Structure 1
Amino acid sequence: MPPAKELTIGDLSARSGVPQSALRFYERQGLISSRRTTGNQRRYDRTTLRRIAFIRASQRAGIPLAQVGEVLGFLPEGQPPTREFWLRASECWREALDDRIAQLQRMRDRFTTCIGCGCLSFDECAMVNPNDELSARGPGAHLLEARPTR
């Protein structure tokens, strides 16, 4: 017997591994859509599984849902993301991901020595941030978030 063309929210949740509450949230955000039966039950096209896979993969890569939604807005309604679509989206996000990777590497390398606020290494901060000079920049871990000058 061929698979059903439409899925209930329970079926979609079971197949995608995404809780029903998250699916409802995705729908409110316009990331996925459903039609309503005469009994007001949601029915999702099977292609929604691919949209959810795209959303989850994007989230795992650290892409905010708002940006995922913007990219999904380029897909025609009912059209699943394709490999080519994913490649184009990942090209758009490459710079942001590279920046995030660089920031995480800086955090890893600096985290145990000084994050610019004095809370982790008082001895080191006396040399790197004497008299808490970095406080003039405002709140935050300025050395940890600093980008290298090129």
Structure 2
Amino acid sequence: MSRRAVSGEIPAGELWLKPGQVAARAGVAVSTLHYYEQFGLITSRRTAGNRREYRRDTLRLVAFIRASQTLGIPLARIKAALDDLPHDRPPTRRDWAHLAGTWRADLDRRIDALVALRDNLAGCIGCGCLSLTACPYTNPGDVLGHDGPGPRRLPRLD
């Protein structure tokens, strides 16, 4: 196996990539690419031999998908964002800036939720368990349970 194949390096002028090249460079399994494709997050073309090939800009899409998943963003939300990008050409810097602008409020909300989780995890988060000494004082009788299931003092992200 060549050094290039092992490292995942891709020649700069290469526009269409084999699944193994994309997988190696993106740090995912080929099966992950197939799943993303099945879910409608990325697309491929078929060669005359019926083998998949991905456009080089698929690497950026996969990076975006992986970064979003790391933050707990559901694939359906990621797909909705990617659906707004052009499909007939690689997205431009302007296209990505537009996507970033539309996600800003959602990301700010997620940041606020993570800060609230960090700051409240050791104390009562409104779960109703009454297992901590503080709970009877911050959620006596599980009054927050009347607002619905789950932790009621933390913002919901769904």
TM (norm. structure 1) is 0.80
* Corresponding residue for residue 115 of structure 1: 125
Q: Does structure 1 residue 89 correspond to structure 2 residue 132?
A: no
Partner of residue 80 from structure 2, selected from 70, 76, 81: 70
Q: Aligned-residue CA RMSD in angstroms?
A: 2.5
Range with bigger deviation, 9-18 or 57-66: 57-66
Say if 1:54 and 1:81, in contact at 8 Å, map to a contact too: no
Unaligned runs of 5+ in 2: 1-10
| Count of residue pairs the alignment pairs up | 146
* Corresponding residue for residue 143 of structure 2: 133
CA distance in 1, matches of 2:57, 2:88: 7
Q: Does structure 1 residue 26 correspond to structure 2 residue 36?
A: yes
User: Is the partner of 1:114 in helix, strand or coil?
Assistant: coil
Range with bigger deviation, 21-30 or 57-66: 57-66
**Aligned-pair distance for 1:20?**
0.9
Relative to 1, partners in 2 of residues 1:88 and 1:60: Cα closer, same or farther, differing over 3 Å?
farther
Percent sequence identity over aligned pairs: 49
Which amino acid in the other structure matches residue 106 of structure 2? A
Q: Deviations over 1:18-42 (max 9, x none)?
A: 2111100111122211112233211
Relative to 1, partners in 2 of residues 1:145 and 1:33: Cα closer, same or farther, differing over 3 Å?
closer
Say if 2:123 and 2:132, in contact at 8 Å, map to a contact too: no
Unaligned runs of 5+ in 1: none
Say if 1:16 and 1:49, in contact at 8 Å, map to a contact too: yes
TM (norm. structure 2) is 0.76
